[in-house]
Amino acid sequence: MIKFACSKCSKTIRVDEKYAGKKGKCPKCGTAVVVPERSTIIEFHCDGCGAKIKVPDRHAGKKGKCPKCQVPIVVPELAEAPPAPEAAPEPPAPPAEPELPPEPEVPDVPAEPEMPPAPDAFAEPLDEEEPYEEPAPEPRAAAGLDRRLLIAIGGGAVVVVVVIIGLVIFLRSGRSEPPAPPRPSRRTAQTDVRPEPAPAEEPRAEESTTESPAAPPAPLADGAVMLKFAPSPGDKQSRRVTTVVNGSVQEAEKEQEFIYTQSFAVDLEAREAQADGTIPIRITLAQIRVRTEIVGIGEREYDSTDPESAAHPMAGEFVPFLGKRFTIHVSSRGELVDTGLDELFLAAAVDVMEAEDDMIRKQLKERAAEAIKRTDERHGSRQERTRVLKKRLQESASLSGAQIHNLVGDLVALLPAEPVQSGAIWNGPLAIELKAYEGIPGAYTLRDIGQDTCTIDAQAQRRAEDEPFVYQSGDTTVSNKYAGTVQGQIILDRETGWLLRREQTSSMAGKVLRVSSGPQAGPSTYDATMEISTTVAPVE
């Protein structure tokens, strides 16, 4: 594998060695690149904390600081490439591909973000392309395990037994499929939210030059305000999103209680508004904490900030996501238009695939190249293998696409389409966060308008006679017929629309029907009750 940096945007690009000397396109900026004969990325470890650092070879010999512990470092020279035993038998590139394909090969496997130095890391100024814009801190496993070996602990497979009802049923009945429903789009195509098309959604550049109500929130003549999500480009925020589920399930005469806690620390950065009026928000997954307790049975916990968690059986499910960045798009009303999940899960899939390859190299050594090639061919191609891993991660019981969708949805708030005063009410969905979630019709009330912030109350109710939540989990169809209430309070920054704090509590009870077509075919029914609390607050 050859690793090198794009000459324009400095993204690290990975390609197979057979493409050395051939042409292609950078997967980020599209600039034409020529694959070098050998890797030009310098990889080394900090002498202080052991963190793995990657920089382009143009920084060789420069001074800086470790981005993790701030210990002074000197970037070493690029090491000579060791002889590659598998190079001789490597077959030549197929005749149909005389050059590095611009679309299927490079763009389908996104570049690995580099671990940047601290802002003052190098005495010499960085170039204008800011090669360290895309940080991805690389967690270091305990007992000398490197990151890729840690990822491979999970074998690239979704083997985690976690969360809520599915875990409990698995421990009691041997069913392996957790009831994690695919998560529907949270704030898109919501006809009850928009009583009429919002003419204020014109390009931001035109709105900012008028005295239209679509300008940044400010008191109007009648005392009302126009609330908008409109952070300035470059504005940065950090939030911690924590969800705690206290519940119980009862089947026949048996009852089991459980507590599930999940916490994410995320960094957010606003970008320039798009032509369609949406605001891109760059999100970095900085920390992950997960704790599952089955009362009377035991508990399991993973904490990315605790070195001892590196040996956790679930670590391989979370490590591929740590430090990863992806971009969501939010409308001026706080609607989540694009979750950016493809970008996130594709990058994680590449990490998992390369962890598998590294494991093969360590086990088979000189036979590794042929084994990796056969593994790719079993999936049809390396790109198809990446897509298969991506799909597997998105459907994972540990950190699925539905959960990430839920996470980013908790970071924004649905706002009214028109100027409002205290006491104003507007309709919109509220999420029931059951590992994945279902949105139910709700109402938002502007309770208070302060000088810098505003407070919004939210509530919703689901009746027993409402249509059940039905979803597929592997070979099992799950139907949840829950009833209950959702209540919450949201505090926003009045000027920018950033969500500062959220407190939401859901109380749900009902029946769950599972019908399996797999080895353990047949239906099973049980009762379930849950108290779910979600908190969003600034990271301290």
CA 363 – CA 246 distance, rounded (Å): 44
Q: Which residues of 72-97 are buried (b: 16+ CB within 10 A; e: fewer)?
A: ebebeebeeeeeeebeeeeeeeeeee
CA-based radius of gyration for the chain: 25
DSSP for 480-525 reads EEEEEEEEEEEEEETTT--EEEEEEEEEEEEEEEEEE-STT-EEEE
What lies within 8 Å, CB to CB, of 446 at 6+ separation is: 227, 416, 420, 421, 422, 423, 424, 425, 454, 455, 456
* 379 and 516 co-located in one domain: yes
Is the Cβ–Cβ distance between 241 and 536 less than 8 Å? yes
Is the Cβ–Cβ distance between 157 and 392 less than 8 Å? yes
* 225 and 119 co-located in one domain: no
* 434 and 494 co-located in one domain: yes
Between CA 490 and CA 501, with CA 495 as vertex, the angle to 5 degrees is 20
Is the Cβ–Cβ distance between 509 and 482 less than 8 Å? yes
Q: Is residue 229 part of a domain?
A: yes
> Tens of pLDDT along 168-212?
444 444 433 433 333 333 333 333 333 333 343 333 333 333 344
* 171 and 108 co-located in one domain: no
**Closest to 260 measured CA to CA, from 248, 279, 245, 250:** 245
Please, which residues bridge with residue 112 across strands? 12
Residue 378: strand, helix, or coil: helix
Residue spans of alpha helices (H) in 398-460 = 401-409
* 174 and 319 co-located in one domain: yes
Question: What is the reported pLDDT for 326?
Answer: 96
Residue spans of alpha helices (H) in 251-340 = 315-318
Q: Is residue 438 part of a domain?
A: yes
What lies within 8 Å, CB to CB, of 519 at 6+ separation is: none
Residue 242: strand, helix, or coil: strand
* 91 and 240 co-located in one domain: no
Is the Cβ–Cβ distance between 168 and 331 less than 8 Å? no
CA 52 – CA 160 distance, rounded (Å): 27
Amino acid 412 reads V
* 109 and 229 co-located in one domain: no
* 86 and 171 co-located in one domain: no
* 111 and 175 co-located in one domain: no
Q: Is residue 513 part of a domain?
A: yes
Query: Which residues of the chain have a pLDDT value below 50?
Result: 81-219, 221
CA 418 – CA 343 distance, rounded (Å): 33
Question: What is the reported pLDDT for 223?
Answer: 67
Q: Is residue 172 part of a domain?
A: yes
* 246 and 117 co-located in one domain: no
What lies within 8 Å, CB to CB, of 448 at 6+ separation is: 422, 454, 455
Amino acid 420 reads V
What interhelical angle do 341-364 and 368-378 show, nearest 10?
Answer: 140
CA distances from 397 to 58, 178, 252, 406 (A): 42, 7, 26, 14
**Total domains, the chain:** 2
Q: Is residue 192 part of a domain?
A: no
Half-sphere exposure of 282 (CA within 13 A, CB side): 16
* 102 and 170 co-located in one domain: no
Q: Is residue 149 part of a domain?
A: no
Please, which residues bridge with residue 455 across strands? 448, 491
Q: What is the DSSP letter of 465?
A: T
Q: Is residue 224 part of a domain?
A: yes
* Structure token digits, residue 194: 């928009």
Q: Provide the CA 327 distance to its chain's centre, in angstroms.
A: 9
* 118 and 228 co-located in one domain: no
What is the pTM assigned to this prediction?
A: 0.60
> Tens of pLDDT along 230-247?
999 999 999 999 999 999
Burial of 392 (0-12, 13-18, 19+ CB in 10 A): middle
Question: What is the reported pLDDT for 315?
Answer: 83
**Entry field: residues in the chain:** 540
DSSP for 439-452 reads EEEEEEEEEEE-SS
Is the Cβ–Cβ distance between 386 and 380 less than 8 Å? no
CA 386 – CA 16 distance, rounded (Å): 14
**Closest to 399 measured CA to CA, from 477, 315, 308:** 315
CA 342 – CA 346 distance, rounded (Å): 6
Domain hosting 501: range is 164-181+218-538
Burial of 538 (0-12, 13-18, 19+ CB in 10 A): exposed
